[in-house]
């Protein structure tokens, strides 16, 4: 029996008791042998999850820290920002605030980025980097990563920065074979860890680019992360609790098996999709571009979304999202990321039915 409101928002999500217990373990010093053993012990599993032979870094920041870092470490002059929702749209402004020239490749919310448009833009030769959000959490759109990476591969001068914040570990994203230069994710989505921590990996090409650039700062300097990781350490004092929790979560992930984990996310997502169709709702994201970790439901039935979220919370102790930013009330979002199963997602859907009456 859960004694708190359970989160079915698209992050942060419910954190298991096992993970929370690991998060609360006694502290260890981050320059001592115990920490080095901890980092060295989890590193091969992280490389497997990232699909990379490159080092995987632990950042004591939320994902935005690494998103900004990628701009500062990789953009020489001008970056193309692929924009299809609240998070990808904001990356343009973040790049500009970092003093870089940034140009939008904007598509309407609900539609995915078209790889052909990327090709047209990169062919101008104006860009030395591009940003992409794989799974745009605000709209429930999942961009065609394979096709986009194939286009980007035609432009070796362009560093490809990919945010997999809300898709990482729910499906394979093989960084090396896709040719991604920075792949980053946050802790509070499919990894089902407490928020405030992120993971990322960096290609050789991206390290070389970073070495050319001044103004990388210190806290997020990719070369500093690399140097410290070689000794199984982080540049600054990390959130040790998160790393203990990550170790515990990796045990769970590899005990389940990656293939089983990916299949479970696909099945729970399909359950939600079936419910959406059966209840006469539409999807906000176009068919063929729908996320497998969350569903952004279009409020075509004009229901009282605020009333629905209130009923779910007060009567069933479940929390869903009532629409992000300008989509508030026009959509609601249901997450199936993390530890959720057919049983727990089925329970959520039953409670939604109860509240919808
Ligand atoms: C796709 C995506 N990117 C980036 C972020 C930003 O993450 P944070 O607020 O943890 O920095 C989010 C947060 O929801 C997200 O969904």
Cα 14 from Cα 25, distance rounded (Å):
19
- Centre of ligand 1 to C-alpha 62, Å, is 8
Q: How many CB atoms lie within 10 A of CB 58?
A: 24
Burial class of residue 323 in the structure, from the number of CB atoms within 10 Å of its CB (0-12 exposed, 13-18 middle, 19+ buried) = buried
DSSP string, 255-298: HH-HHHHHHHHHHHHHHHHHHHHHTT-EESSPTT-B-SSEEEEE
- Centre of ligand 1 to C-alpha 211, Å, is 27
Answer yes or no: are the C-beta atoms of 168 and 142 closer than 8 Å: no
Strand-strand pairing, 78-83 and 101-106: parallel
Best mutation site among 62, 143, 195 for ligand 1 pocket (most ligand atoms within 8 Å of CB): 62
Kindly state if the Cβ of 11 falls inside 6 Å of ligand 1: yes
- Centre of ligand 1 to C-alpha 32, Å, is 32
Residue-range domain boundaries for the chain: 6-13+257-356, 18-254
Go through the chain and tell me how many residues it has.
357
Q: Read off the pLDDT of residues 239-267 as tens digits, 9 standing for 90 and up.
A: 999 999 999 999 999 999 999 999 999 99
Burial class of residue 197 in the structure, from the number of CB atoms within 10 Å of its CB (0-12 exposed, 13-18 middle, 19+ buried) = buried
Kindly state if the Cβ of 262 falls inside 6 Å of ligand 1: no
pTM: 0.98
Q: Read off the pLDDT of residues 135-183 as tens digits, 9 standing for 90 and up.
A: 999 999 999 999 999 999 999 999 999 999 999 999 999 999 999 999 9
Best mutation site among 82, 83, 87 for ligand 1 pocket (most ligand atoms within 8 Å of CB): 87
- Centre of ligand 1 to C-alpha 192, Å, is 14
- Centre of ligand 1 to C-alpha 11, Å, is 8
Query: What residue ranges in 4-136 does DSSP mark as E strands?
Result: 6-7, 56-59, 78-83, 101-106, 129-133, 135-136
Mean pLDDT for 273-293 is 98
With a pLDDT cut of 90, the percent of the chain lying above it is 99
Confidence of residue 1 (pLDDT cuts 50, 70, 90): low
- In the predicted structure, residue 56 carries a pLDDT above the cut 80: yes
Cα 164 from Cα 123, distance rounded (Å):
25
Least Cα distance to 305 among 282, 319, 292, 322 occurs for 322
Q: How far apart are the first and last CA of the chain?
A: 24
- The tokens describing 37, both together, are 């053993």
Mean pLDDT for 214-223 is 96
Residue 117, pLDDT score: 98
Assigned CATH topology for domain 6-13+257-356: 3.90.1150
Kindly state if the Cβ of 63 falls inside 6 Å of ligand 1: yes
Kindly state if the Cβ of 122 falls inside 6 Å of ligand 1: no
Query: What residue ranges in the chain does DSSP mark as E strands?
Result: 6-7, 56-59, 78-83, 101-106, 129-133, 135-136, 141-142, 159-163, 182-186, 198-202, 282-283, 294-298, 318-319, 331-335
- Which residue has 């939008």 as its token pair? 104
- Centre of ligand 1 to C-alpha 116, Å, is 26
Query: What residue ranges in 43-192 does DSSP mark as E strands?
Result: 56-59, 78-83, 101-106, 129-133, 135-136, 141-142, 159-163, 182-186
Answer yes or no: are the C-beta atoms of 268 and 63 closer than 8 Å: no
3-state helix, strand, coil in the chain (%, to 5): 45, 15, 40
Confidence of residue 231 (pLDDT cuts 50, 70, 90): very high
- Centre of ligand 1 to C-alpha 300, Å, is 27
Nearest atom of ligand 1 to the alpha carbon of 188: 10
Kindly state if the Cβ of 187 falls inside 6 Å of ligand 1: no
Q: Read off the pLDDT of residues 104-116 as tens digits, 9 standing for 90 and up.
A: 999 999 999 999 9
Mean pLDDT for 14-42 is 98
Kindly state if the Cβ of 131 falls inside 6 Å of ligand 1: no
Answer yes or no: are the C-beta atoms of 197 and 12 closer than 8 Å: no
Residue 3, pLDDT score: 82
Confidence of residue 32 (pLDDT cuts 50, 70, 90): very high
Best mutation site among 11, 12, 61, 63 for ligand 1 pocket (most ligand atoms within 8 Å of CB): 63
Answer yes or no: are the C-beta atoms of 283 and 298 closer than 8 Å: yes
Nearest atom of ligand 1 to the alpha carbon of 195: 10
Kindly state if the Cβ of 133 falls inside 6 Å of ligand 1: yes
Kindly state if the Cβ of 197 falls inside 6 Å of ligand 1: no
Residues 6+ apart with CB under 8 A from 55: 43, 47, 201, 202, 225, 226, 229, 230
Kindly state if the Cβ of 163 falls inside 6 Å of ligand 1: yes
- Centre of ligand 1 to C-alpha 278, Å, is 30
Residue 2, pLDDT score: 65
Nearest atom of ligand 1 to the alpha carbon of 196: 10
- In CATH, the number for domain 18-254 is 3.40.640.10
127 torsion bin: left (phi>0), alpha (psi -120 to 50), beta (else): beta
Residue 144, pLDDT score: 98
Residue 230, pLDDT score: 98
């Amino acid at each position: 029996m859960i004694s708190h409101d359970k989160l079915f928002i698209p992050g942060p999500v419910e954190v298991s008791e096992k993970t929370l217990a690991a998060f609360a373990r006694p502290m260890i010093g981050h320059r001592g042998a115990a920490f080095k053993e901890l980092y060295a012990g989890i590193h091969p599993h992280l490389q497997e999850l990232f699909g990379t032979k490159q080092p995987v870094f632990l950042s004591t920041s939320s994902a935005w820290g690494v998103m900004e870092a990628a701009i500062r470490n990789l953009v020489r002059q001008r970056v193309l920002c692929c924009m299809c929702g609240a998070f990808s749209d904001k990356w343009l402004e973040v790049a500009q605030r970092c003093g870089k020239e940034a140009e939008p490749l904007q598509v309407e919310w609900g539609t995915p980025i078209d790889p052909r448009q990327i090709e047209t833009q990169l062919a101008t030769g104006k860009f030395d980097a591009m940003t992409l959000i794989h799974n745009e959490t605000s709209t429930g759109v999942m961009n065609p990563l394979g096709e986009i990476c194939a286009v980007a591969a035609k432009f070796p001068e362009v560093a490809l920065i990919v945010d997999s914040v809300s898709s990482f570990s729910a499906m394979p994203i093989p960084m090396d074979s896709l040719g991604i230069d920075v792949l980053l994710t946050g802790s509070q989505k499919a990894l089902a860890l407490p928020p405030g921590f992120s993971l990322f990996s960096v290609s050789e090409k991206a390290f070389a680019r970073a070495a050319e650039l001044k103004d990388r700062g210190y806290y997020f300097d990719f070369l500093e992360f690399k140097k410290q990781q070689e000794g199984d350490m982080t540049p600054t004092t990390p959130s040790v609790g998160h790393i203990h929790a990550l170790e515990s979560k990796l045990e769970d992930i590899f005990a389940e098996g990656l293939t089983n984990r990916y299949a479970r996310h696909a099945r729970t997502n399909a359950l939600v999709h079936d419910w959406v169709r059966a209840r006469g709702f539409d999807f906000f994201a176009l068919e063929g571009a729908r996320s497998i970790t969350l569903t952004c439901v279009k409020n075509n039935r004009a229901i009282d979304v605020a009333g629905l979220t209130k009923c779910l919370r007060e009567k069933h102790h479940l929390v869903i999202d009532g629409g992000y930013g300008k989509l508030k009330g026009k959509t609601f979002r249901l997450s199936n990321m993390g530890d959720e199963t057919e049983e727990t997602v089925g329970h959520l859907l039953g409670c939604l039915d109860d509240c919808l009456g």
